[in-house]
Each structure stands twice: as C-alpha cells, then as structure tokens.
Amino acid sequence: MGERTLRGMFWAYGSYVGGRALVMVSVAILARLLTPADFGLVAFALTVTALLDTLADLGVSQALIVIGQDESRDRASTAWTLSMLIGVALTLLTIALAPLVALFFDEPELVAIVAALGFNFLIRASAVTHFALAQKRLDFRARTIAEMADVGVRAATGIGLALAGAGAWSLVIGYLAGTTARAIALWLLVDFRPRPRVHRTDARALLRFGGGLAALDVISAIVANMDYVFVGRVLGKTELGLYTIGFRLPELLIMNLSIVAGVVLFPAFAGIDRGALGRSFLVALRFTLGVAAPLAVALVVFAEPIVLAVFGDQWVDAVPVVRVLSLFAFAVAVGIPAGSAYKAIGRVDVLLKLAVPRALLAVGSIAWFVDEGITAVAACQAAVAGLFAVIGILLASHLLGAGLPAVLRAIAAPVAAAGLMAAVAVGIALAVDGPWLTLLLAGPASALTYVLALWRLAPDIPARLLAAATSGRTVAA
C-alpha cells in the first residue's frame, strides 16, 4: 500500500470526521431543542429509506470504479443514466409506501415525512456518478468539499428550523437541503457532464458486477437497520430516539473510519498486483486497527461524561448503548480491509457467503432479545459483528496468502497499546468526579499513553501517519 494511498486515507478520514464533527455539533444543539420522540420519529422514516437506498443505482457506481482503468465518457454516461432512472423509481416507490410505513409503526405523521425523504433518492442519483469518478481518481478534494457542503447546509437548515419550532421536520428538511448542496458541489468540482444514454455493452458490464454488490448492500442494510425496526416497532419512538443518539458517537469516530477506509482501499486495492495484495491487506489492517482501537477504548470508558457533556441529562439512558455500539463499530471498522480486498479481486461471492448467515444471526438474535431493551439489541449487533469480523480476517489472510502468524504480528502492537490506554483511562475515570473534569484530565492522559505506547511498540504507525499528513513523497510500503 503506497504512501499516496495512506495519505489519501489519512486525509479522507480527517476531512470526513471533520464534517461529521460539524454534524455532531448540530446534533448536540438539536438534542437540546428537540425531544427523543422527535428523533425517533425521523429515525422511523430513515430506517425505511436506508433499506431502499441499497437499490439506489444497483451497484453501478461502484462497478464503474473497477471495470476498466480507462475513464470512458460513454460508460460513465450510461452509469449516470441508469442511476437517474433508478432514482426516479425509488422516489415514486417511497411515496407509494409512505402510508404503509405509517400504518406499520402506528405513526400517522410518517406519511408526509417518508414521502418527503423519498426525494433524496432523486437528488443523490444526479451526482452519484460524479462521486464514483472522484473516488476512482482518488480525488479527495472534491469529495471533501462536497461532504462539507452537505453537513454545513444540513446543520444550518436544521438548527434554524428547530429554533423556529419545526420539530421533527427540521431534521427532514435539513437532510434534503444537505443532499442538494452535496450534489451541486460535485457537479461543480468533478469534470464530468453526462449525456443521457444507455450503451448496452457498458450497461451489461456495469449491472453484472454491480448486481452482486447491490445484493451485498441489501443484506448489509438489513443487518444495519433491523435493530432500528425492532426497537421502533416494539419499544416505541422514544426508545428509538435514545438508541439513535447512542449510535451517533460510535458512528462519528469509528464507523466513519470504516466508511472512509472502504472508499480509499477499494480503488487502491483494485490497482495493486494480486501478488502484492496480501502485504497491502496486512498494512491496511494494521493502520485501521491502530486508529480504531483507541477510539473504541475512549468511547467505552468515557461514554457517560461525553453523553452528559454533549447531549445533556435527558439522554443519560443512551450511555450503555454508546458503550456497546462502540464495540460494534470497532468490529465493523477492522473488517473493512478484508471486505475491500474481496471486492477488488472480484470475489463478491465471498462477501455474500459471509453476509447471509450474518444477517440471519443478527436479525434472529435481535428479534429474540428486543424485549430486554435497547442495550440488549446493541449487544446482539456487537456480538455478531465481532464474530464475522474475525471470520472475515482469517479467511482473507488465507485467500491472499498472508497467513495467520502475519496477521497476529500486524495487530499485536495496536492491541497492546490500546490495552495499556484502557488501564490508564479506567483508573483516572474512577478517581475523578464530574463529566467535564473527567474529559479534561483523563482524555489527554489516555491519548498520550496510547501514542507513547504505540511509538514504543510500533513506531512505523505514528511515523507513517505523520508522513502521510505532511509529506508529498511516495514511499514504498
């Protein structure tokens, strides 16, 4: 894995988290202006649209990254046209399903909310090909500006409407406004002007590869959203609101690492010779774990002071959920290098074979334990994700010729440093009282412990991350 890829991953994660930090600030403000029931109501609708979102372009944009190293304008125009047709269909389908969704969750207000969110498919489809081309070119400048436009407009719109008393609609309209800003930015920054047309040869190639990815996305979406469905249907919108806020911190710091890692590693792995892919996989796993492990430790140990300081006392019941979902997010993040490698070598079938039993186990366990509350639901997700992350890494090490001993050597230092950090963090947290004082004292001390331990055990990780952030040189992995 070259320094260019590592530098891209570093800055992509930094920019992505920077944008999501702005989202977190807006959510913290909205959490004090709105109620858990307001968040839960919108979460109902977003759960439905997230499931339909897996069909938004049938994997065509991802296929565009892999199929051919050239950037055929005709192929890209075909991808854009297919995406737009699917976007129109999903918008109409969402509007048609809105009354049924409201009936299922027994929330009449959902009819208008779900229908409004359906237009997000059409708006996003207009620029999904531009986003794919930017990803193919590793053009993180365009992606960063577009994402920052999204979160900035969404935050400003949502907070303004919440102050005006719009309630749950402040979240809905803010979401649509952000997507629109993102699409406009991509059109302005990415050098691609589509011509509506469908070339049969290109369409068949895109749909053939993208279809497998779309099937995988459907299964992944079921795993990712069934907890919301069960919590909302069985426990109600207030508990769903608490669960949603409980997901925010792990999503911001750890889940976004997995998203960015997948965005960068997929095209990077696709351009690497098969013989070198095993080594690149180990490097990616090592660096992903090096960033994800301390974040997971920090959220598990400091969940209560962070929630109280950021969201306020009315969200204290979300603290156990934050702790457990931090483990879930960590498992998802460390499994991304293996998944990206499978896609890069065209082995989507391996991902599907892993995804089906994972979905069945996750849905079955959540259905069984949902009556125990939202923390039990989070525990089901974390346990299943952890099991399949281990299976995926072991299988990847075999398929790519890396070997289990090499995997253990790659992860040993970050795991040991994170363990030392956890001991220091727990000791200080137990000795200090008050959320802000705990964060001010234990946070920096824990971070310093991890950095020093990692620098002692694996100096290549902090050194290369620093080099990726400051150097323009290309260094061999």
- Backbone φ and ψ of 106, nearest 5°: 55, 45
pLDDT at 190: 84
Gap between the Cα atoms of 415 and 360, Å rounded: 30
Range(s) of the domain holding residue 362: 240-471
Q: Is 346 left (phi over 0), alpha (psi -120 to 50) or beta?
A: left
pLDDT at 144: 77
pLDDT at 265: 54
Gap between the Cα atoms of 95 and 77, Å rounded: 27
Secondary structure (3-state) at 365: helix
Gap between the Cα atoms of 318 and 419, Å rounded: 25
Radius of gyration of the chain (CA): 22
Any domain includes 125? no
Amino acid symbol at 377: V
Domains held by the chain: number: 1
Token pair of 306, please? 């962070």
Secondary structure (3-state) at 147: helix
Any domain includes 181? no
pLDDT at 152: 87
Any domain includes 332? yes
Q: Are 314 and 36 in contact (CB under 8 A)?
A: yes
The rounded average pLDDT for each run of 10 residues, N- to C-terminus, in the chain (477 residues) is 51 58 74 79 79 64 58 71 86 91 86 91 86 71 81 89 88 91 90 75 60 63 78 85 85 72 54 64 80 89 86 86 92 80 66 80 91 92 90 80 80 89 87 79 86 84 61 38
Q: Are 354 and 396 in contact (CB under 8 A)?
A: no
Token pair of 227, please? 């907890």
Amino acid symbol at 304: E
pLDDT at 166: 86
Any domain includes 172? no
Any domain includes 66? no
Any domain includes 341? yes
Any domain includes 139? no
Any domain includes 171? no
Q: Is 458 left (phi over 0), alpha (psi -120 to 50) or beta?
A: beta
In terms of pTM, does the model score above 0.75?
no
